[in-house]
Structure 1
Amino acid sequence: MARLPRLALAGHLHHLIHRGHNLQPIVVDDDDRKALLAALQDSAATHKVAIHAYVVMPNHLHLLATPSTADGLSRMMQALGRRYVSAFNLRHGRMGTLWEGRFRAAPLEADTHLLAVMRSIELNPGRAGLGDPGEYPWSSAAHHLGHRRDPLISDPPGFWALGNTPFERELAWRRWLEEGETEAERQKLIDSALKGWPLGSARFLQLLSELSERPMSPRPRGRPRKVRADEAS
């Protein structure tokens, strides 16, 4: 089966996952993490992509982002790869690819999925046993909880709607993180990004179908059911 083209649309929210080749580490130490985030910040600014949430895990990178152009995500990730991978290989005396092929991504309806995906991204360190998400220095959680200002982050309108003041928004976000997510909710978001299927309301999916000829959902498996003559009348 031919691989579906990636669905990337200007002005829409996207959940991205980029994994290490064979799930190998994409960072070895804090210097690598700093270099990765610095390259991401420069690449996002150059290609006009707003980053709303992120987490750098040992063997993968999660992003929630809105590109201003249809090719903004691809250009940003290409620039990130060129800068970071060459520096990583030089620093660690290695050659070859670092990433598992192309990055994976899917559009999301902001009204229905923005906060859920932000939360899922920022809960990653806790699920992996890397400590409290709010204390993890390599994600956007500390920014949204008011522990520090992160120049990489552009807060979307949906986050600002959590409260009229920074304190109200930070408190509301802490409650969101503490509430957590179910494994089914988490898996749904991961599957969407990895397989490239958008998430949102029927109206949102219809809008996307008008912007792209690519299917918006997987087709049912198996052969179509035969219709009897009495059913067709």
Structure 2
Amino acid sequence: MDEIKTPLHKIRQVAAKILNKFNTLLLAPFLLNKYRILVERSKGGIMPRARRILGDDVHYHIIVRCNNGEFLLKERDDFQFFLDLLAESKTRFYFRLYNYTLLHSHAHLILSTHKGYFVNEVMHQFCLSYSRNFNKRHGRTGHLWKNRYRCKPILTEAHALACLRYQHRNPDKAGIVSNPGQWPWCGYRFYAFGLENPMLTYHPTYLGLAADQETRQRFYRKIVEAPLTSKECGLLEGRARPQSKRFQMEVARHIQQVSGTC
């Protein structure tokens, strides 16, 4: 009975020929790893990289992480240059910045792109410029950031509010401070207390929380204090869909419960 020839079978044959020809310890692990990835993808185990959703007026939740999970952003100058470069990038690429939360091992951003400058160009230039400056100041070489940044479009108002709350709770969750208002490298005090911050624009979802600013601030402080719902956690971890009615209803109920205590 003839052996069935599949694309995977041909890849196996080619890999075997190369291994037989070069048979080195350096080349073999590389080829075997490539072969393993192809096999896993054929089984649905490893997905190829998802394409970015690009366009004008698209809102994003962006995460950039330090390489190997290291706590590299330690000094005040590291955080301040991050903000200075972010302000410079805003002027150059015309994006709106709704929030930033900078931590020692990673940073969160919420922004929207405009005038044909898409998020891939914005973040590529930003990450490259920051890493070059950081390495020069600290006398180091190598990668600062882990792989490429994580970027998810924000598709609903409930999704936007979950992102804001999650980011503003992060310093407290990480054990850096005992409450969000103590951490200077985020936009919490801009939203919760009206502290002036020329870099930030209020997110439209925040503006819809109440008719006047004082009530919005009080309301926002309450909802940040409240733990994230299971659906919100699932959404932010990629296990739930922001468009689902169940998710939006759960967030609406949660907000209604909190608003009753304002």
TM-score after normalising by structure 2: 0.69
1:126 is aligned to 2:146: no
**d(CA) in 2 for partners of 1:67 and 1:105?**
13
Deviation (angstroms), 1:25: 2.6
Deviation (angstroms), 1:100: 0.9
- Asked whether the 8 Å contact 1:21–1:100 carries over to 2, the reply is yes
Deviation (angstroms), 1:162: 1.7
Which residue is equivalent to 1:208? none
**d(CA) in 1 for partners of 2:175 and 2:88?**
30
Structure 1: gaps spanning 5 or more residues: 203-233
Tell me the secondary structure at the aligned position of residue 16 of structure 1. Answer: strand
- Asked whether the 8 Å contact 2:64–2:149 carries over to 1, the reply is yes
Which residue is equivalent to 2:192? 145
Which residue is equivalent to 1:171? 218
* Residues 69, 102 of structure 1: alpha-carbon distance in 2 compared, 3 angstrom cutoff: farther
Larger Rg: 2
Counting aligned pairs with the same residue, the percent is: 26
1:115-172 deviation per Cα after TM superposition (whole angstroms, max 9, x unaligned): 1111011100010011111121011101111252112211122111122222111111
- Asked whether the 8 Å contact 1:108–1:200 carries over to 2, the reply is no
Tell me the secondary structure at the aligned position of residue 145 of structure 1. Answer: helix
One-letter amino acid of the structure 1 residue matched with residue 227 of structure 2: G
Tell me the secondary structure at the aligned position of residue 144 of structure 1. Answer: helix
Tell me the secondary structure at the aligned position of residue 17 of structure 1. Answer: strand
Which residue is equivalent to 1:90? 136
Q: Which has the larger displacement, 176-185 or 158-167?
A: 176-185
One-letter amino acid of the structure 2 residue matched with residue 199 of structure 1: P
Which residue is equivalent to 1:158? 205
Which residue is equivalent to 1:80? 126
1:199 is aligned to 2:242: yes
* Residues 198, 18 of structure 1: alpha-carbon distance in 2 compared, 3 angstrom cutoff: farther
- Asked whether the 8 Å contact 1:8–1:71 carries over to 2, the reply is no
- Asked whether the 8 Å contact 1:14–1:65 carries over to 2, the reply is yes
- Asked whether the 8 Å contact 1:106–1:198 carries over to 2, the reply is no
One-letter amino acid of the structure 2 residue matched with residue 33 of structure 1: F
CA RMSD of aligned residues (A): 2.1
1:18-71 deviation per Cα after TM superposition (whole angstroms, max 9, x unaligned): 111111234121111000111112112311211112200111111111111565
Structure 1 or 2: larger helix share?
2
TM-score after normalising by structure 1: 0.77
**d(CA) in 2 for partners of 1:76 and 1:90?**
22
**d(CA) in 2 for partners of 1:4 and 1:69?**
24
Which residue is equivalent to 2:97? 51
Tell me the secondary structure at the aligned position of residue 129 of structure 2. Answer: helix
Structure 2: gaps spanning 5 or more residues: 1-40, 42-47, 246-262
**d(CA) in 2 for partners of 1:127 and 1:120?**
9
Which residue is equivalent to 2:52? 6
**d(CA) in 1 for partners of 2:108 and 2:241?**
16
Question: Which runs of at least 4 in structure 1 moved beyond 6 Å after TM superposition?
Answer: none
1:181-202 deviation per Cα after TM superposition (whole angstroms, max 9, x unaligned): 146632431337xxxx973248
- Greater relative contact order (Cα 8 A, min sep 6): structure 1 or 2? 1
* Residues 198, 154 of structure 1: alpha-carbon distance in 2 compared, 3 angstrom cutoff: farther
1:136 alignment partner, one of 173, 183, 187: 183
